[in-house]
Structure 1
Amino acid sequence: MSKRLKQLTKNADKNFNQMIIGVLIVAIGIFLWADKNYFFWPPQLRLLMNSEWSDIVFICLGICLLFTALTGNRSRKFQSILLILASAAVAMLLAEQVWHVLGAHKVEMIMAVILDAGLLTLLIRCAYKN
């Protein structure tokens, strides 16, 4: 059992950036699941933007990224697909938040925009190194 734990620790250390990304994406998914009124503008798209499906996608992507990082990224192709999907999801979230800041003048969301831009940068770096 100790050998498996050492291997998991070694994999987590080797894929630390991917572990951080996975945790952050799971946290975003949980937050969006809990707050069903996070997106409000434009009113016509409110239901679509606050859909539970997007929350589920974020949580599943984050868990998959964590799992592949802990198992040592055995399949580079699967890891690449996960990183691309996660980048697309975070980019869409970033676009929605920028839309709120610029269109609805919700300046309070600027911190979320900055943090999501940082997460997207980390995702792109991780995909590039893959």
Structure 2
Amino acid sequence: MSKRFKQLTKNADKNFNQMLIGVLIVAIGIFLWADKNYFFWPPQLRPLMNSEWSDIIFIILGICLLWAALTGNHSRKFQSILLIVASAAVAMLLVEQLWHVLFAHKIEMIMAVILDAGLLVMLIRCAYKN
């Protein structure tokens, strides 16, 4: 194996939680991009919440987290900013989904709320360990 590949696998092992978070955030972004009617409450915010821009932000954010983890998080400041922005994005997603559960009585979204809460805890833990 090449030296570069060994370093990438070493970084991936060292930053496994951050890589997992990055993959999950990319998956969330792709899912939201595919489903343009996911959010429906409140009706006034429906176009904003289902905007392609928020989906693109999730995808780019996840890719940046993956890239930073694979390259070894050389810049702690950049890693901190990425983790803070990702935490804010996931927290906002969690609140939006919680609104649907509480106010629109869309109880099926409770699993998404639980999984987003778990992802948020992982993000906070990574930021704390940083």
Tell me the TM-score normalized by structure 2.
0.99
Match of 2:29 in 1: 29
Q: Which amino acid aligns with 2:54?
A: S
- Within the alignment, does 1:73 sit opposite 2:73 as a pair? yes
**C-alpha separation between the residues in 2 aligned to 1:7 and 1:129?**
21
Aligned residues: 130
**C-alpha separation between the residues in 1 aligned to 2:85 and 2:118?**
17
Match of 2:40 in 1: 40
**C-alpha separation between the residues in 2 aligned to 1:42 and 1:23?**
29
Counting aligned pairs with the same residue, the percent is: 88
**C-alpha separation between the residues in 2 aligned to 1:100 and 1:123?**
23
Match of 2:111 in 1: 111
- Within the alignment, does 1:127 sit opposite 2:127 as a pair? yes
**Structure 2 counterparts to residues 46-61 of structure 1, below 5 A:** 46-61=46-61
**Structure 2 counterparts to residues 82-101 of structure 1, below 5 A:** 82-101=82-101
**C-alpha separation between the residues in 2 aligned to 1:44 and 1:23?**
31
Cα deviation 1:29-63 (Å, max 9, x = unaligned): 00000000000011111001000110000000000
**C-alpha separation between the residues in 2 aligned to 1:122 and 1:42?**
29
RMSD, aligned CA: 0.6
**C-alpha separation between the residues in 2 aligned to 1:25 and 1:54?**
12
Runs of 4 or more off by more than 2 Å in structure 1? none
By how many angstroms is 1:74 displaced?
Answer: 0.2
Gaps of 5+ in 1: none
By how many angstroms is 1:78 displaced?
Answer: 0.1
